[in-house]
Amino acid sequence: MRHFAIVGSGPAGFYTAEALEKAYGDQARVDILDRFPVPYGLIRFGVAPDHQSLKAVSKRYDKVAESAGVDFIGNVSIGRDVSVAELLDFYDAVILATGAPHDRKLGIPGEDLPGVVGSAEFVGWYNGHPDFADLNPPLGGTHAAVIGNGNVALDCARILSKTRHEFEGSDIVGHALDALDGSALKTVTILGRRGPHQIAMTPKELGELGHLEAAVPIIQTADFPPVEADEPLEPGLRKSVTLLRGFSDLPADKPKRMVFDFFAKPVRIEGDGRAERIIVERTELDEKGAARGTGETYEVPASLIITAIGYSTSPIPDVPFDGGKFVNEAGRIGDRLYAVGWARRGPSGTIGTNRPDGYEVADQIAAARPAGSDEGRGGAEGLKALLGSRGIMPTDYDDWRKIEETENANARPGSPREKFVRPDHWLQAIGR
């Protein structure tokens, strides 16, 4: 019997488990480990709560978790409770699927002022991530800014702009819903350091902004090249740019504004003990298409500033790490050690991108460690004995189902669930 450990229960972890199960059938046991007793990583804590159709992919992961050869082992932190070297003793291969949960830094003065939060923190706050339950983003001012021109920036700007009514059917956590509902925000500025042709926003996500109840997206037509210049763009990007251009036809008759400010590079954040404004330098594109400062600066008022400029993976002791992800070649980090998903590639692509990624690594593993032979490793049994000796009690998939049932039972009307935002509540739900 082969034993495999996948560290991280987000999309990359589950697709890899599915692939290993297909490759080995009943000749392997696959354990999906997570530091939390609740699975799904990015699906639970990253995907926007008002995008329930995207979250539905977890049903597919449920099937994987319920299959005979796969187990979920929660409440175990790799690098803290057990080392990667120890895992490699128990398992034929270890696959790191730990995602990219940390915000990249802007590296500008004032970034550490209160009022500046990373998108991982802000998204985690409204999605019930326990690390960010106490974030309390300042929502008492009239102006906020989101830095970045990707889909995460759009998620953050949209969540800031929706009404309570528009969150119906979502699983935004109650504390965030109440705080957002009481916000004084009138203007959310979305700052892009390059232009409309360089955005990383997809059409569906942009299109939503044209139909918000209380907010209207605003663009400056002067930021756009002549419409003929859109012709050579890749079709998805062209559609996004067309949608952006179309925002200029919308009546600005709603109480909130989402202002797209292009060619605007943040150079510092200022305020008296807390963020009050961003100083921005006007840019132009250089020969290589990068943002080049023009020397002209201006200020954008904002008492809440969200940086949405990409993520990095958490380093794990003794695993080579560089540029925000694990050092790997086609997913292979070293002998019997692999990475998949954002921990392998960096934070790009859709949820579905992780599927071929996981299958490719599973194929490599299957080629190197064929089914039908094994090295006599102890798998979960050995791991659990070690954890027990350290006083650590892992949770399993049945525990998760109990937590889920309680979250579903606690749902406010119109919402699928009310997530627990404190780890001790997870443990209480399973009688610990």
Cβ nearer to ligand NAP, comparing 356 with 370: 356
Q: Which is nearer to ligand NAP, 20 or 42 (CB)?
A: 42
What token pair was written down for 77? 């932190």
For the CB of residue 172, give the shortest distance to ligand NAP in the complex, in Å: 15
Nearer to ligand NAP, 149 or 313 (CB): 149
Give me the torsion for CA of 313, 32, 338, 130, rounded to 10°. Answer: 10
Least distance from C-beta 394 to ligand NAP, angstroms?
30
Are 308 and 99 within 8 A, CB to CB? Answer: no
**Alpha-helix runs per DSSP H in 25-138:** 42-45, 52-55, 58-66, 84-90, 119-126
Per DSSP, the three-state class of 115 is: coil
Q: Which residue is nearest to ligand NAP (CB)?
A: 150
Give least dist CB 414 to ligand NAP, A.
Answer: 22
Q: Which two tokens stand for residue 403?
A: 């937590």
Kindly tell me which of 349 and 356 has the beta carbon lying closer to ligand NAP: 349
Name the minimum Å distance from CB 343 to ligand NAP: 14
The smaller minimum CB distance to ligand NAP, of residues 200 and 411, is found at 200
Which residues contact ligand NAP (rule: CB under 6 A)? 106, 147-153, 155, 192-194, 198, 200, 202, 205, 308-310, 347-350
> Using CA atoms, how far apart are residues 355 and 304, in angstroms rounded to an integer?
36
**Closest approach of Cβ 282 to ligand NAP, in Å?**
13
Supply angle C-alpha 423, 428, 431, rounded to 5. 135
Give, as one character, the DSSP assignment of residue 105.
P
What minimum distance in Å lies between the beta carbon of 325 and ligand NAP? 13
CB of 41 to ligand NAP, least distance (A): 13
Alpha-carbon distances of 307 from 33, 43, 105, 266, 278, rounded to whole Å: 30, 21, 8, 10, 12
Comparison of 75 and 151: residue with beta carbon closer to ligand NAP: 151
Of 124, 224, 137, 212, the C-alpha closest to 179 is 137
Q: Which of 176, 173, 165 is nearest to 215 (CA)?
A: 165
Is the CB of 104 or the CB of 377 nearer to ligand NAP?
104
Q: Are 153 and 223 in contact (CB under 8 A)?
A: no
